[in-house]
């Protein structure tokens, strides 16, 4: 229970169906973490109030050390490598659907339930992950690293619902979180994450190598970024490449940021056919990007080459790419 409307309604729906429900919140934030939003102190109090209203047991579990080890340290390491990680994907893989799942099992729970907008379907030979019914809220992108074991022990009560339906249920139950705003920020940072790094000023060059400006630390930029570069010109400049070894950022025009292929590694595939032969799928290179037609080409050492039918804007190393066939998630990996 994050203290938001989604997990609160998920708990209420499960109790209504006759499940023996226990509410838990993971204490994740470091001392310099956010004072509001997901997993903050105020979120704990909201979750506690909802649990009391639903008359279910409620616990706060300390996951600070493992969260710092797997999520925060990975976040810092990836940015130091000039990449742009997705901490929510890592949190789902290593914390929610691994460490918390093990804790749930130790407590005697049969299932772990969350307020994610996605669906799990049991099929012959295993479990499938599918998009949530609400296209605006579908969160299957963040869940592709889940193992078959995790899928077998997980419930997504909101998968067949829309956000407006969830808020209506919360209002009908009189939950005070019914109209609570969603947290859009990184849960372990309040304001700028500059303090996580030791940024040093460096050169901004154009594609010919000409010096056109100075950056404030390459960790504070991402591929495709336009704002905050401090460069004036006839056309807007965009970050095309980040070179951490030389502490240098290369910029170009918008057309320079488009690419039509990428290399993906650290794969988790629900369909092993993806690594045995070329296959055409829909692929999403970031959460809010539309899925685009692409051909997957298996390579050695568990990697895939992904070739898009149409060029994609700002293919970004460190981000996740997720593959779909219709509403079904085929798997995904990290853009290298």
The larger pLDDT score, comparing residue 159 to residue 126, is at 159
Active site residues: 91, 187
How far apart are alpha carbons 7 and 178 in whole angstroms?
11
* 204-249 per-position pLDDT tens digit: 999 999 999 999 999 999 999 999 998 888 889 999 999 999 999 9
Looking only at Cα atoms, what is the longest distance across the chain? 67
- Is pLDDT of 30 > 70? no
With bands split at pLDDT 50, 70 and 90, how would you rate the model's confidence at 166? very high
Average pLDDT over residues 35-61: 85
pLDDT at 82: 96
- Is pLDDT of 37 > 70? no
- Is pLDDT of 255 > 70? yes
pLDDT at 32: 45
* 185-202 per-position pLDDT tens digit: 677 776 677 888 999 999
- Is pLDDT of 92 > 90? yes
pLDDT at 188: 74
- Is pLDDT of 104 > 80? yes
Domains and CATH numbers, the chain: 5-172 (3.40.50.620), 198-252 (2.30.30.280), 259-335 (2.40.30.10)
With bands split at pLDDT 50, 70 and 90, how would you rate the model's confidence at 65? very high
How far apart are alpha carbons 226 and 229 in whole angstroms?
7
Q: At what angle do helices 5-16 and 163-172 cross, to 10 degrees?
A: 70
Question: Residue 55, class by beta-carbon neighbours within 10 Å (0-12 exposed, 13-18 middle, 19+ buried)?
Answer: exposed
How far apart are alpha carbons 4 and 148 in whole angstroms?
27
Average pLDDT over residues 118-137: 93
Question: Residue 17, class by beta-carbon neighbours within 10 Å (0-12 exposed, 13-18 middle, 19+ buried)?
Answer: exposed
Cβ atoms of 261 and 329 closer than 8 Å:
no
Cβ atoms of 223 and 180 closer than 8 Å:
no
With bands split at pLDDT 50, 70 and 90, how would you rate the model's confidence at 140? very high
Closest CA to 330 of 143, 93, 85: 143
pLDDT at 40: 65
What does pTM read for this prediction?
0.92
- Is pLDDT of 314 > 90? yes
Average pLDDT over residues 279-308: 94
Beta strands 154-155 and 112-113 are parallel
């Amino acid at each position: 229970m994050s203290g938001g409307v989604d997990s609160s309604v998920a708990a209420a729906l499960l109790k209504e169906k006759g499940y023996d429900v226990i509410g838990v919140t993971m204490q994740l934030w470091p001392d310099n973490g956010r004072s509001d939003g997901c997993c903050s102190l105020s979120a704990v109090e909201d979750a506690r109030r909802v649990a009391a209203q639903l008359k279910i047991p409620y616990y706060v579990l300390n996951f600070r050390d493992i969260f710092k080890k797997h999520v925060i340290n990975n976040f810092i390491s990836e940015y130091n490598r000039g990449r742009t990680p997705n901490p929510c994907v890592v949190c789902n893989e290593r914390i929610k659907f691994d460490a918390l799942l093990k804790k749930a099992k130790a407590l005697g729970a049969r299932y772990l339930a969350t307020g994610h907008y996605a669906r799990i379907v049991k099929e012959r030979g295993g479990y499938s992950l599918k998009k949530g019914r609400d296209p605006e809220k579908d969160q299957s992108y963040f869940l592709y690293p889940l193992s078959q074991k995790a899928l077998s022990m997980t419930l997504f009560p909101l998968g067949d619902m829309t956000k407006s339906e969830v808020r209506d249920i919360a209002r009908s139950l009189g939950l005070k979180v019914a109209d609570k705003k969603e947290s859009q920020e990184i849960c372990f940072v309040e304001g700028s994450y500059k303090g996580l790094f030791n940024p040093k000023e460096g050169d901004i060059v154009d594609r010919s190598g000409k010096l056109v400006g100075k950056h404030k630390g390459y960790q504070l930029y991402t591929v495709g970024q336009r704002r905050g570069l401090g460069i004036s010109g006839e056309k807007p400049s965009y970050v095309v490449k980040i070179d951490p070894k030389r502490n240098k950022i290369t910029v170009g025009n918008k057309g320079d940021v488009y690419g039509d292929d990428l290399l993906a590694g650290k794969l988790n595939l629900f369909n092993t056919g993806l690594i045995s032969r070329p296959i055409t799928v829909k692929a999403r290179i970031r959460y809010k990007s539309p899925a685009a037609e692409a051909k997957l080409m298996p390579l050695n050492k568990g990697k895939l080459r992904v070739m898009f039918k149409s060029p994609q804007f700002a293919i970004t190393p460190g981000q996740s790419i997720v593959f779909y066939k219709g509403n079904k998630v085929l798997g995904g990996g990290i853009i290298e």
